[in-house]
Amino acid sequence: MKKALCVSINRAGWPFISLFGFISAGFWYLYQPLGLVGVVLTLWCAYFFRDPERVTPEESGLVISPADGIVLPLVETPPPLELGMGNESRPRVSIFMNMFNVHMNRIPSHGGIKKISYRPGRFFNASLDKASEHNERMSVFMKSDGGAEIAFVQIAGLVARRIKCSLVEGQQVRAGERFGLIRFGSRVDIYLPIGTKPKVLPGQIAVAGETVIADLGK
C-alpha cells in the first residue's frame, strides 16, 4: 500500500487532478456529502495518472509490452494500411487497459521511428476486436536495431477521448521509454514480424516496460 501511495504522478495528469480538486472544493462548500464524492473522484484521477518506474530487460532482440493490461486473443492480421507495411498478415498482440491500469505507454524495442500516422474514428469498447479497425488510433511503425519491422497502435476506447503520443519520425528510441498515454481506458496493439511466435497468452496480465511479448532472436 505504501508503495502504491508513493508512486509518482505523470505531469499530464496534474491539470485534471487540479480541476477535480477545484470542483470537489466547490461541492464541499455547497453540500458536504457531495464534496466527499468529489474527493474520491479526485483521488481516483491521481491514481489513474500514476507513473511508476519499471525495470526493462536489456537483452537484444526482445519486444517488450507497450502497455499494462490484459492480453486479448492473439490473431494474425495486416497492420494499419496507413503505415505502408503491406497487407500480409502478422502476429498481433492486443493489450486492453481498463480504467484502473497504469496508462503510460512505453516503447517495445530499441530502434528508430519510421512513420507515425493518426486516424480519427469511432469509440467502440476497446476490448472488442472491431476497435482495432474502426476506433480512433495513433499508429507507429518502427525498425528495431536488428532491422525487424514492428508496429504499435494506440487505440481510443469507449470512454477514452484523447490519445497522447510524443514520438516524431526519425527519432531513435530505447525499449521501456515512455512515449504517451490514452485517457481513460483503452487498448494498444503491437504487430510483430511475420513468423514471430508471441511469448504471451490470452488472459495474461502484461506490464508495460517489463513483460516480454516476443524474442526476435529465437
Q: Which active-site residues does the annotation give?
A: 186
What span, in angstroms and rounded, lies between the C-alpha atoms of 89 and 76? 5
Contact between residue 207 and residue 55 where contact means Cβ atoms under 8 Å apart: no
198-201 — which CB contacts under 8 Å span 24+ positions? 198/74, 198/91, 198/93, 200/65, 200/71, 200/74, 200/93, 201/71, 201/74
Given the DSSP bridges, would you call strands 104-106 and 186-191 parallel, antiparallel or unpaired? Answer: unpaired
Exposure of 166 in the CB half-sphere (CA atoms within 13 A): 12
| Amino acid of residue 48 | F
How far apart, in Å, are the Cα atoms of 91 and each of 30, 75, 84, 174, 201? 55, 6, 17, 22, 13
Reduce the DSSP state of residue 178 to 3 states and report it. Answer: strand
CB atoms within 10 A of CB 203: 9
Contact between residue 162 and residue 69 where contact means Cβ atoms under 8 Å apart: no
What's the distance, CA 208 to chain centroid?
Answer: 8
